[in-house]
């Protein structure tokens, strides 16, 4: 028994250093020899079979270990592959959800803009009002002159007032094509507006500024020095304007300085309209005809 254990241990050491292919050939040869001897010399072959077993068993154990190792590696590889596939799938789903969220956000913003336009139309219920989309801009960062998608076939005429969804004054229609119109905004250099404080206590003149700044500013002029714009800074179109409808919101006084004549003061007005972003506007076509006319 001790001899067999020693032989087994010896063959285990030998097998560790043998090439796998060589060991496999040796095992096959020994197995065939063992079967041959067992068939012709069954009693005498027991010892040899034991010796062959000492070789086969360690080799078989080694093969089992290798098989288990390869199985574990394959299982691990499949698990990693499945995990990567799941990650790719979840990434695509996440990207799709982000696109949907962005689209829903844009739809909400558009709906909010349309609701504002409807409210503005309600405030101008005595006028015929047409909604128009901005389709072109002569500038880059600010809308001084821009094109809308309504023209003469839609009843648009030159000098019609243009406002935004919040009821702020945008400008006047300056050119009318068949199916488009050009709007000149109130911030364009040379444009002049007769304005007054919201409570109607004082009049002044507002003009467009030739600045390249993205800020929407108007120059305030000819305001009497006694007017307190701190408490009444909101300006609207005056009742004596020859082109603009009365009481349309223009903007808010941000700065005033007394002039050298001591009688008037000048300053700047921040427009109620953001002229860096215009998508939809309203064109006021004139007063509605009374019922029965």
Q: Is the pTM of this model over 0.75?
A: no
Q: How far is CA 256 from CA 152, 252, 267, in A?
A: 41, 11, 4
Structure tokens at 80: 């990693």
pLDDT reported for residue 178: 95
- Tell me: the pLDDT tens digits for 114-162? 666 666 666 666 778 888 999 998 877 788 899 999 999 999 999 999 9
- Our CA angle for 120, 122, 126, nearest 5°, is 110
Same domain, 20 and 165: no
Enclosing domain of residue 202: 124-287
pLDDT reported for residue 270: 93
For all residues of the chain together, what is the average pLDDT? 77
CATH number for the domain spanning 190: value is 2.40.10.340
What's the rounded Cα separation, in Å, for the pair 225 and 258?
Answer: 6
3-state secondary structure of 78: helix
What's the rounded Cα separation, in Å, for the pair 88 and 110?
Answer: 33
Number of domains within the chain:
2
- Tell me: the pLDDT tens digits for 30-49? 666 666 655 555 555 445 55
Q: Which residue has the higher pLDDT, 211 or 147?
A: 147
Structure tokens at 266: 């000048």
User: Given a cut of 90, is residue 25 above it in pLDDT?
Assistant: no
CA 101 from chain centre, in angstroms, equals: 9
Same domain, 140 and 264: yes
Q: What is the DSSP letter of 289?
A: P
Q: Which residue has the higher pLDDT, 196 or 29?
A: 196
Q: How confident is the model over 221-246, as a mean pLDDT?
A: 87
pLDDT grade, residue 70 (50/70/90)? low
What's the rounded Cα separation, in Å, for the pair 163 and 249?
Answer: 9
What's the rounded Cα separation, in Å, for the pair 279 and 119?
Answer: 17
Same domain, 129 and 65: no
pLDDT reported for residue 271: 94
pLDDT reported for residue 45: 47
pLDDT reported for residue 194: 92
Same domain, 277 and 149: yes
pLDDT reported for residue 95: 81
Same domain, 281 and 142: yes
Domain presence at residue 147: yes
Domain presence at residue 105: no
Beta strands in the chain (DSSP E): 127-137, 145-148, 161-163, 169-176, 181-185, 192-197, 203-208, 217-224, 234-237, 249-258, 264-271, 280-287
Same domain, 147 and 262: yes
């Amino acid at each position: 028994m001790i001899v067999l254990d020693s032989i087994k241990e010896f063959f285990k050491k030998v097998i560790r250093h043998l090439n796998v292919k060589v060991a496999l050939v040796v095992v096959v040869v020994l197995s065939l020899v063992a079967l041959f001897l067992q068939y012709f010399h069954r009693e005498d072959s027991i010892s040899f079979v034991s010796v062959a077993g000492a070789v086969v068993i360690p080799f078989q154990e080694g093969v089992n270990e290798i098989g288990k190792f390869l199985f574990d590696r394959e299982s691990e590889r499949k698990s990693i592959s499945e995990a990567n596939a799941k990650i790719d799938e979840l990434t695509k789903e996440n990207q799709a959800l982000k696109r949907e969220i962005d689209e829903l956000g844009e739809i909400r913003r558009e709906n909010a803009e349309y609701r504002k336009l409807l409210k503005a139309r309600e405030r101008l219920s005595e006028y015929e009002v047409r909604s128009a989309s901005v389709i072109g801009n002569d500038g880059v960062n600010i809308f001084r002159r821009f094109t809308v998608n309504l023209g003469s076939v839609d009843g648009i005429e030159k000098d019609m007032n243009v406002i935004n969804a919040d009821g702020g004054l945008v400008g006047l229609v300056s050119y009318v094509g068949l199916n488009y119109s050009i709007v000149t905004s109130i911030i364009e250099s040379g444009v002049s507006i007769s304005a007054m404080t919201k409570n109607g206590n004082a009049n002044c003149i507002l003009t467009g500024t030739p600045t390249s700044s993205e800020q929407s500013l108007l120059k305030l002029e000819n305001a009497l020095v006694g007017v307190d714009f701190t408490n009444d800074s909101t300006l609207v179109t005056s009742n004596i304007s020859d082109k603009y409808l009365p009481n349309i919101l223009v903007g808010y006084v941000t700065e005033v300085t007394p002039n050298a004549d001591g009688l008037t003061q000048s300053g700047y007005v921040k427009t109620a309209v953001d002229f860096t972003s215009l998508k939809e506007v309203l064109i006021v076509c004139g007063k509605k005809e009374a019922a029965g006319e």
